[in-house]
């Protein structure tokens, strides 16, 4: 691992993701203040649907990402990627417009029809673009990838603020701002990787062979990622189906707040994968232990910010005040999901354990179906439905890390017990106690956690430089 290159790439992703966090934070705080709860619900429904439509790649982009991770960009055989890019464009035009047409013919809610149509338009933009961004990531062109992210978010943010300033507060215009942001990022992506978009096409025979290999390799990862999305998606679909779009919007707001931290955490995973692919396998356990300490110790402490956040948000958005209690149930999900996204998934992909990743995610999806059916349709309990999101993500993270620890021959059970214990303490005191008492109790618990983690923190301080320098 080239430390100078790693730090340089991290600085690019840091800027891009800090910007994304700032923009997301501002939009989360500003937009609900100026639009109705119903319009906010439809806007969140679009964001929710868009997270699914981006998987219309058949696994092709995921396969290319896995196969070419660690390559130099100049060594890529460009005609293969030009052909695959335009294959994805044509495929997504046909599939997405078919979905929009069929849904529009059968829908009784015109607002949802608009949401679905604009979601399908988004799919046509983001799926072919994902081939370009994945190849930029896998070949370590992190700077260009970061600019694509920055450009999309700035255009999106600027247009949303502009619309709100002029009193345009319908959800359709918020979605239009997002689409225009994606259009600008697609144009830039095509410019910086133009030799993957414009140029000589591969022969039909070789193209079919390459697509087949990529889909074969990437389908497991695609399904695993799709299953990962379904873990929360099934619960959210059930909430949207059983309660109103306003309730869906309120729950989505608390989810968005809880997810903000993961935008930054996921940045490290983006640069860690190509770096780990170039790292000797015998060094991976030491790096894992090091990165785990870097991530988990601060994350456990960050939960403290829930208490002032709840007070400030309830004052700023009183129409959503009743929904902020759910943050006590959802905030801890960042502990498990961040570790899964940044460390566990990255390592499983590096070690080419996509099949196990798929099995773990599918198992959690089955559990999600079961809990959604019980909590939503049998008990009709929104509190349990929301809590099940954190429960499912914790289950997935624990099972995956126990498996990974056996592969790497490291011990993590003590750390898992500590993290689950801290999560339970946070949820119990935040749900049942007055906010000042809850803050004091959790702060004391965190001090005890740091004492118990003293040896790991000391190991990190003493060995971080040696471990990283050995990767040069």
For the segment 269-316, what is each residue's pLDDT rounded down to a tens digit? 555 545 555 555 667 787 777 778 877 888 899 889 889 888 888 888
- Assess whether pLDDT exceeds 80 at residue 16: no
Distance in angstroms (rounded) separating the CA atoms of residues 374 and 393: 18
Q: What percent of the chain is predicted at pLDDT more than 70?
A: 89
Distance in angstroms (rounded) separating the CA atoms of residues 344 and 292: 10
- As a whole number, mean pLDDT of residues 19-31 equals 77
- Assess whether pLDDT exceeds 70 at residue 433: yes
State whether the Cα torsion 369-233-86-78 is positive or negative. Answer: negative
Using alpha carbons, list the distances in angstroms from residue 88 to 201, 393, 417, 428. Answer: 14, 31, 44, 48
Query: Looking at residue 1, what is its pLDDT?
Result: 47
Query: Looking at residue 96, what is its pLDDT?
Result: 92
Query: Looking at residue 158, what is its pLDDT?
Result: 92
Query: Looking at residue 139, what is its pLDDT?
Result: 79
Distance in angstroms (rounded) separating the CA atoms of residues 113 and 90: 23
219-275 pLDDT, tens per residue? 777 787 788 788 888 888 788 777 877 888 888 887 777 776 666 555 555 555 455
Query: Looking at residue 172, what is its pLDDT?
Result: 93
Q: 0.95 cut: is pTM over it? A: no
150-202 pLDDT, tens per residue? 899 899 999 999 999 998 889 999 999 999 999 999 999 999 988 889 888 88
H helix count then E strand count, the chain:
19, 0
- As a whole number, mean pLDDT of residues 34-63 equals 85
- Assess whether pLDDT exceeds 60 at residue 126: yes
Phi-psi region of 168 (alpha: psi -120 to 50; beta: other; left: phi over 0): beta
Q: How confident is the model at residue 98 (pLDDT cuts 50, 70, 90)?
A: very high
Query: Looking at residue 9, what is its pLDDT?
Result: 59
β strands within 217-275, DSSP E: none
């Amino acid at each position: 691992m080239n430390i100078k290159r790693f730090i340089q790439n991290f600085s690019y992703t840091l800027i891009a993701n800090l910007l994304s966090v700032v923009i997301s934070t501002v939009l989360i705080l500003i937009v609900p203040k100026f639009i109705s709860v119903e319009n906010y619900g439809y806007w969140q429904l679009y964001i929710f649907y868009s997270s699914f439509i981006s998987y219309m790649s058949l696994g092709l982009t995921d396969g290319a990402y896995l196969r070419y991770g660690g390559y130099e960009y100049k060594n890529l055989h460009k005609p293969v990627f030009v052909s695959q890019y335009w294959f994805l464009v044509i495929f997504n035009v046909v599939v997405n417009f078919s979905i929009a047409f069929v849904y529009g013919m059968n829908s009784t809610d015109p607002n949802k029809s608009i949401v679905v149509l604009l979601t399908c338009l988004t799919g046509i933009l983001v799926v072919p673009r994902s081939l370009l961004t994945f190849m930029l990531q896998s070949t370590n062109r992190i700077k260009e990838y970061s600019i694509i992210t920055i450009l999309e978010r700035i255009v999106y943010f600027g247009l949303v603020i502009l619309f709100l300033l002029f009193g345009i507060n319908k959800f359709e215009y918020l979605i239009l701002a997002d689409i225009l942001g994606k259009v600008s990022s697609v144009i830039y992506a095509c410019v910086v990787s133009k030799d993957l978009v414009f140029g000589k096409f591969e022969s039909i025979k070789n193209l079919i062979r390459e697509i087949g290999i990529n889909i074969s390799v990437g389908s497991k990862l695609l399904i695993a990622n799709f299953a990962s999305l379904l873990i929360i998606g099934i619960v959210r679909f059930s909430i949207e189906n059983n309660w109103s779009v306003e309730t869906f919007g309120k729950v989505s707001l608390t989810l968005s707040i809880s997810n903000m931290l993961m935008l930054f955490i996921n940045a490290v995973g983006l640069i860690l994968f190509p770096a780990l692919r170039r790292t000797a396998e015998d060094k991976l356990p030491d790096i894992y232990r090091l990165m785990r300490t870097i991530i988990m110790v601060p994350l456990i402490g960050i939960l403290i910010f829930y208490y002032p956040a709840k007070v400030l948000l309830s004052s700023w958005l009183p129409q959503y005040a009743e929904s902020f209690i759910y943050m006590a149930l959802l905030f801890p999900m960042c502990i498990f999901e961040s570790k899964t996204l940044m460390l566990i998934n990255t390592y499983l992909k590096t070690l080419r354990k996509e099949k196990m990743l798929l099995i773990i995610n599918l198992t959690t999806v089955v559990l999600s179906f079961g809990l959604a059916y019980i909590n939503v349709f049998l008990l009709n309990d929104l509190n349990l439905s929301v809590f099940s999101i954190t429960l499912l993500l914790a289950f997935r993270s624990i099972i995956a890390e126990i498996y990974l620890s056996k592969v790497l021959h490291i011990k993590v059970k003590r750390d898992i017990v500590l993290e689950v214990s801290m999560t339970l303490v946070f949820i119990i005191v935040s749900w049942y106690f007055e906010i000042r008492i809850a803050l004091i109790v959790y702060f004391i618990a965190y001090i005890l956690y740091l004492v118990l983690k003293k040896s790991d923190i000391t190991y990190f301080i003493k060995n971080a430089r040696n471990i990283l320098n050995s990767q040069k």
